[in-house]
């Protein structure tokens, strides 16, 4: 591009050194010539001295490419032809110089187009390289983050194992109570509890149609994890029930008689009471789940 600017500068000198170039060398003296309507007709005044100063500018205000210079040189002649009548000398001089300028520009244009194509390819390549570099940086960051997370997981697992080893073993009574508490979980929470068992027991199938959970066969880690999960789940369920109960106070009054009658029946039915006690006393949890038919 610098070489093209140098070649264009040679064309520019030839035009500015022409004997008819003098009216366009400096800005139009609007006040001195009494051209009161000049700025109403001409939107963007332009002259050769302004172009020359901008071509020499090295503070970032100069032309970026030769097409910008070409446009301003052309504007000088177009302004003169627009403001002055066709029979006016300035109009004729501007038209003649414009034709000479266009001829020389057409000779330079193929090189300009070739350079522009090369720059576009370079910019596209630079943009692609930058994108690939950014993607590589992000990939490396992701790998480092995954590695750090894996390390944290390992540390947490080791810490959990250490805590479990230092904890006392769960008693038979605690296992029995845990088994009873599992029966009070919602179906969704029960599924999560069985998944906890399956994590440390590969032979246990949490999604089978029928599941037998032997509390004595579970590791201490599994038992304590189950206990924490069950406690938190039952607390959450209790809070949820309390909120629902607060909204149903009006309905409770209407159902008091019916509940009293039902409680009396249960108290007076020893067989039913024995069945409930036996079910809660079991140390194992058995869950049967229907699976959708195979399609």
CATH node for 1-125: 1.20.920.10
Residue 153 exposure: Cα atoms within 13 Å on the Cβ side: 6
Residues of the chain with confidence (pLDDT) below 70? 1, 58-60, 164-167, 205-209, 242-295
* CA–CA distance, 235 with 3 (Å, rounded to integer): 80
Helix, strand, or coil (residue 234):
helix
> Which among 103, 116, 115, 110 is positioned nearest to 11, based on CA atoms?
103
Task: Give the CATH architecture of domain 172-240.
Answer: Up-down Bundle (1.20)
Domain segments of the chain as ranges: 1-125, 172-240
* CA–CA distance, 52 with 72 (Å, rounded to integer): 11
Beta bridge partners of 213: 285
Cα Dmax for the chain: 127
Which residues, in sequence order, are CB contacts of 210 under 8 Å at separation 6+?
A: 286, 287, 288, 289
User: What sign does the CA torsion over 261, 267, 271, 275 have?
Assistant: positive
* CA–CA distance, 219 with 204 (Å, rounded to integer): 13
pLDDT at 131: 86
Q: For residue 288, report the phi and psi dihedrals to the nearest 5 degrees.
A: -115, 130
pLDDT at 78: 96
Alpha-carbon Rg for the chain, nearest whole angstrom, is 45
Please give the DSSP secondary-structure letter assigned to residue 217: G
> Which among 19, 20, 41 is positioned nearest to 30, based on CA atoms?
41
pLDDT at 24: 95
pLDDT at 127: 84
* CA–CA distance, 87 with 206 (Å, rounded to integer): 99
Which tokens sit at 132?
A: 């690939």
Which tokens sit at 73?
A: 């040189």
Q: Does the reported pTM lie above 0.85?
A: no
Number of H helices, E strands in the chain: 10, 2
Please give the DSSP secondary-structure letter assigned to residue 281: H
* CA–CA distance, 236 with 87 (Å, rounded to integer): 96
* CA–CA distance, 104 with 138 (Å, rounded to integer): 51
* CA–CA distance, 164 with 226 (Å, rounded to integer): 13
Alpha helices (H) along 167-201: 172-182, 187-199
pLDDT at 44: 95
Reported as type and span, the H/E element at residue 262 is helix 249-267
* CA–CA distance, 208 with 191 (Å, rounded to integer): 11
* CA–CA distance, 123 with 275 (Å, rounded to integer): 82
């Amino acid at each position: 591009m610098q070489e093209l600017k140098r070649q264009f500068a040679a064309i520019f000198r030839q035009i500015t050194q022409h004997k008819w170039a003098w009216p366009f060398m400096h800005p139009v003296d609007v006040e001195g010539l009494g051209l009161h309507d000049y700025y109403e007709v001409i939107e963007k005044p332009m002259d050769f001295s302004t172009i020359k100063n901008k071509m020499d500018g090295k503070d970032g205000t100069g032309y970026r490419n030769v097409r910008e210079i070409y446009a301003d040189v052309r504007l000088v002649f177009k302004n003169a032809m627009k403001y002055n009548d066709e029979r006016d000398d300035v109009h004729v001089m501007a038209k003649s110089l414009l034709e000479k300028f266009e001829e020389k520009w057409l000779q330079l244009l193929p090189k300009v187009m070739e350079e522009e194509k090369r720059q576009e390819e370079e910019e596209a390549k630079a943009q692609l390289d930058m994108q690939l570099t950014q993607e590589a940086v992000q990939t490396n960051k992701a790998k480092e983050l995954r590695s750090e997370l894996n390390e944290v997981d390992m540390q947490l697992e080791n810490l959990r194992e250490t805590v479990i080893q230092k904890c006392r073993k769960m008693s038979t009574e605690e296992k029995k109570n845990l088994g009873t508490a599992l029966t009070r979980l919602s179906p969704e929470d029960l599924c999560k509890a069985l998944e906890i068992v399956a994590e440390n027991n590969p032979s246990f199938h949490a999604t089978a149609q029928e599941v037998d959970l032997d509390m004595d066969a579970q590791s201490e880690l599994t038992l304590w994890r189950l206990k924490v999960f069950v406690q938190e789940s039952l607390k959450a369920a209790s809070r949820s029930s309390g909120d629902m109960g607060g909204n149903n106070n009006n309905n409770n009054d209407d159902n008091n008689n019916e509940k009293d009658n039902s409680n009396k029946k249960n108290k007076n039915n020893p067989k039913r009471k024995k069945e409930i006690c036996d079910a809660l006393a079991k140390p194992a949890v058995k869950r049967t789940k229907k699976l959708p038919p195979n399609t």
